[in-house]
């Protein structure tokens, strides 16, 4: 029986983020090249996007490629960039049909021109979508993002566009790449590791964390529902007491 029937449709997390880990280990366990794990990971992402849309998740942000990933062997990086081009082009018609809008965060200037153009084409074509927003974190890391924000704030203070006294948490958030998105309600990490790996450090301050040993290529619809169901069993207090939350 599907876990879908156990999920409270009135308490679906608005924004889910996923660290899609375990592609390489999935492939290695099967005697395959690492890139085969990444290919299977695309299939998993398609299934998760469809499942998230089915339960009316509004935002799904996936950690697709970190700034640290540029240090991997060049053969793997090149293969990943080509795979992104292929996957984005292949999936665009289905995304349009399902009303999924694609967005991206990260230092996209580092992406190969072909990859960047393919991504931009997908974002342009899916822009009218009014369903799920799928955010691809590419060439992204939180320390990079916070460093860029600090530089932008320093420039604006120097140019008289911002005063030191007006720098609040809310104001700082406006300088982040995620400024148009709500903070994540739920972070899912696959692959058995229990860390957040330089991902959305500011935004995850009060997110619920869910770790699973399942490698990303094996993560699908039911695994997403299991994470959402687990999330719904928790009490989110945001620094308040349990009594305060219940009273509210």
Q: In what order do the strands lie in the sheet with 101-105?
A: 101-105, 133-140, 59-66, 15-19, 186-189, 208-211
* Active-site residue identified among 69, 98, 107, 198: 69
- For residue 65, what are the CA distances in angstroms to 71, 95, 127, 197, 241? 11, 20, 22, 11, 38
Residue 134: closest CA among 4, 16, 218, 230 = 16
Is residue 69 among the annotated active site residues? yes
pLDDT 10s digit of each residue in the chain, 248 long? 788 999 999 999 999 999 999 999 999 999 999 989 999 999 999 999 999 999 999 999 999 999 999 999 898 899 899 999 989 999 999 999 999 999 999 999 999 999 999 999 999 999 999 999 999 999 999 999 999 999 999 999 999 999 999 999 999 999 999 999 999 999 999 999 999 999 999 999 999 999 999 999 999 999 999 999 999 998 777 666 666 566 66
* Active-site residue identified among 8, 21, 124, 130: 21
pTM, 2 dp: 0.93
Tell me the two tokens of residue 246: 């219940």
């Amino acid at each position: 029986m599907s876990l879908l029937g156990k999920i409270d449709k009135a308490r679906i997390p608005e924004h889910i983020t996923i660290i899609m880990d375990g592609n390489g280990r999935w492939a290695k366990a099967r005697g395959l090249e690492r890139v085969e794990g990444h290919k299977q990971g695309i299939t998993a992402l398609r299934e998760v996007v469809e499942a998230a849309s089915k339960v009316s998740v509004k935002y799904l942000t996936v950690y697709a490629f970190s700034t640290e990933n540029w240090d991997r062997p060049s053969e793997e990086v090149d293969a990943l960039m080509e795979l992104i081009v292929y996957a984005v082009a292949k999936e665009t018609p289905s995304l349009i049909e399902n009303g999924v809008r694609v967005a991206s965060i990260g230092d996209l200037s580092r992406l190969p021109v072909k990859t960047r153009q393919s991504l931009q084409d997908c974002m342009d074509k899916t822009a009218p979508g009014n369903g799920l927003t799928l955010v691809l974190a590419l060439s992204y890391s939180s320390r990079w993002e916070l460093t860029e924000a600090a530089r932008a704030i320093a420039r604006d203070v120097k140019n008289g566009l911002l005063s030191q006294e007006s720098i609040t948490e809310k104001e700082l958030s406006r300088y982040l790449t995620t400024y148009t998105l709500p903070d994540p309600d739920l972070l899912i990490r696959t692959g058995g590791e229990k860390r957040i790996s330089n991902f959305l450090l500011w935004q995850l301050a009060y997110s619920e964390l869910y770790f699973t040993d399942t490698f990303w290529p094996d993560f699908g619809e039911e695994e997403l529902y299991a994470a959402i169901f687990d999330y719904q069993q928790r009490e989110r207090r945001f620094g308040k007491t349990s009594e305060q939350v219940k009273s509210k």
